[in-house]
Amino acid sequence: MDLEQLRKTAAEVVARDDVKYLIGWKKGSYGYRVAPVFVEDAAGVAELIFSPLCTANLTTYLTLVEKTPLPRGQEADKRKVALMVKGCDSRAVVQLLVEKGIHREEVIVIGCPCPGVVDQSLLVEKYGDTEEPVEVKWNGDGFMLVRGGEEIKIPRDEVLAEKCRLCRYPNPVISDHLIGAEVEKWSPAEDSGVSELDAKDVDGRWEYWEEQFNKCIRCYSCRNVCPLCYCQDCILDRLNPTWINRAVNFSENTAFNISRAFHLAGRCIECGECERVCPANIPLGKINRKMAREVREKYGFEPGLDPEAEPFQASFKPDDPEDFIL
Starting at the edge strand found earlier in the chain, the sheet holding 142-147 runs 135-139, 142-147, 150-154
Residue 64 in the binding site for other proteins (CB under 8 A): no
Residue 238 in the binding site for other proteins (CB under 8 A): yes
CB of 229 vs other proteins, minimal distance in Å: 9
Among positions 247-276, residues that touch other proteins (CB under 8 A) are: 263
- Nearest alpha-carbon partner for 118 in 79, 157, 78, 81: 157
CB of 224 vs other proteins, minimal distance in Å: 16
Tell me the C-alpha to C-alpha distance, in Å, between residue 30 and each of 25, 33, 37, 119, 133: 14, 6, 15, 17, 6
CB of 244 vs other proteins, minimal distance in Å: 12
CA distance 254 to 218: 10
CB of 226 vs other proteins, minimal distance in Å: 12
CB of 51 vs other proteins, minimal distance in Å: 34
Residue 310 in the binding site for other proteins (CB under 8 A): yes
In DSSP notation, 216-269 reads -----HHHHH-TT---SS-GGG--TT-SS-S--SHHHHHHHHHHHHHHTTTT--
Given 15, 235, 248, 258, the residue binding other proteins (CB under 8 A): 235
Q: Interface mask (CB under 8 A) for other proteins, residues 100-139, using x and -?
A: xx--------------------------------------
Given 4, 18, 29, 69, the residue binding other proteins (CB under 8 A): 69
**DSSP-derived pairing of the beta strands 142-147 and 135-139:** antiparallel
Residue 75 in the binding site for other proteins (CB under 8 A): yes
3-state secondary structure of 6: helix
By CB under 8 A, name the binding residues for other proteins.
67-72, 74-76, 99-101, 230-235, 238, 240-241, 263, 310-311, 313-316
